[in-house]
Amino acid sequence: MTILHSDVDGSANSRKTGVLLSNLGTPDGTDYWSVRRYLAEFLSDRRVIEAPRLLWLFILNALILTARPQRKGKDYAAIWNRDRNESPLKTITRSQAEKLRQSIRDGLLGDTKSNVIVDWGMRYGNPSLKAATERLVARGCERILFVPLYPQYSAATSATACDKLFEVLASMRNQPALRVAAPYYDQDTYINAIAGSLTERLLRAGFEPDVIVASFHGMPLSTHVAGDPYYAHCHRTADLIRTRLGLPQERLIVTFQSRFGRAEWLKPYTDETIKALAAKGARRIAVVTPGFSADCLETIEEIGQENAKYFFDEGGEAFARVDCLNDSDDGMRVIEAVVRRELSGWV
């Protein structure tokens, strides 16, 4: 019998652990083909579109991918980070990873600075989860903590991100151990950060809103009926923010944005609600987007431009969009708290 010996130190203290941050993703550019490639990958995901497969692929390729990339490209161009030639979501997610690395180097997450490596990747587009995972493994990570940056769980965000990472791991002979961070929709650090950012934004705006709209990304109603916990998570988040700020139910309401197609989605819809608020006499509103960890097309353009226009067209006078937590000090405290909790006892 041949006995193989390893020269590698197998002690727990020498093991490297990767922390892999992930967000949804963006196109590589604002041109037709870049946006088309991104939309094709995104809208081909069975977790995102649960329609009958053959019918949906026909609709996607024959109809949606012919015209939609040009329209969405113009929207992306309106918010594009031209200095880096990339979307704000990409810029912010990179910065979140860089700041988390610095927090680890500074010892803010405990005595982990010598054996924790941080990287980041997107579910769709670039940089890919595959490339990020391969980098971590190449640097000797035997374990990976995967952190999908979605406060509320849904199959169309958190689960599909895990699906993609599992697919990457399935191709590896020597797989790292994996832990997936739990959603943090009700964690104190997160709720405090959202409440604080809302309060600070309103101080800068210089007005008291008649209504605060907490707008979450929409999902088809069928996903809720099928048992997805997303709807409940969103309402729990809003309830906790409302309680933290001492607001009555009618002063902070929940809506859902970014619906797509003709099927019924989670209600009430953000755009219809904002129009109705103005039509009923609301003159000052603020919109916060607690389901997004970083500003992107849906928050900057859809809320800050499109829905603001709806409000003003109906007679509204003041509209404040609350930035996502992004890579702010409070935003990083949220990410650090998630990582610290998950690494506890593992590193």
The domain segmentation of the chain, as residue ranges, is 16-183+329-343, 188-321
Q: Does pLDDT of 9 surpass 50?
A: no
Give 173: exposed, middle or buried? Use CB within 10 Å, 0-12, 13-18, 19+.
exposed
Rounded to 5°, the CA angle 266-231-127 comes to: 90
State whether CATH 3.40.50.1400 applies to domain 16-183+329-343: yes
Position 262 scores a pLDDT of 87
Give the residue with greater pLDDT, 60 vs 346.
Answer: 60
| Cβ contacts of 326 within 8 Å, gap of 6 or more | 92, 95, 96, 293, 294, 295
Position 2 scores a pLDDT of 41
Position 109 scores a pLDDT of 79
3-state secondary structure at position 233: helix
Question: What are phi and psi for residue 74, nearest 5 degrees?
Answer: -65, -40
Q: Does pLDDT of 49 surpass 80?
A: yes
Position 48 scores a pLDDT of 95
Q: Does pLDDT of 147 surpass 80?
A: yes
The whole-number average pLDDT for the span 1-27 is: 69
Q: Does pLDDT of 34 surpass 60?
A: yes
Any long-range contacts for 277-280 (C-beta under 8 Å, 24+ apart)? 277/210, 277/211, 277/213, 277/311, 277/316, 278/310, 278/311, 278/312, 278/313, 278/314, 278/315, 278/316, 279/314, 279/315
Q: Confidence band (pLDDT; 50, 70, 90) for 6?
A: very low
The whole-number average pLDDT for the span 34-62 is: 95
Position 107 scores a pLDDT of 87
CATH of 188-321, one of 3.40.50.970, 3.90.1150.10, 3.30.70.20, 3.40.50.1400: 3.40.50.1400
d(CA 85, CA 318): 32
Q: Confidence band (pLDDT; 50, 70, 90) for 62?
A: very high
Position 305 scores a pLDDT of 97
The whole-number average pLDDT for the span 113-135 is: 94
Q: Does pLDDT of 1 surpass 60?
A: no
Note whether 147 and 112 are within 8 A (CB).
no
Q: Mean pLDDT in the chain?
A: 94
Q: Confidence band (pLDDT; 50, 70, 90) for 14?
A: low
Q: Confidence band (pLDDT; 50, 70, 90) for 10?
A: very low
| pTM: predicted TM-score of the whole model, two decimal places | 0.93
The whole-number average pLDDT for the span 162-188 is: 97
Same topology, domains 16-183+329-343 and 188-321? Answer is: yes
Q: Confidence band (pLDDT; 50, 70, 90) for 339?
A: very high
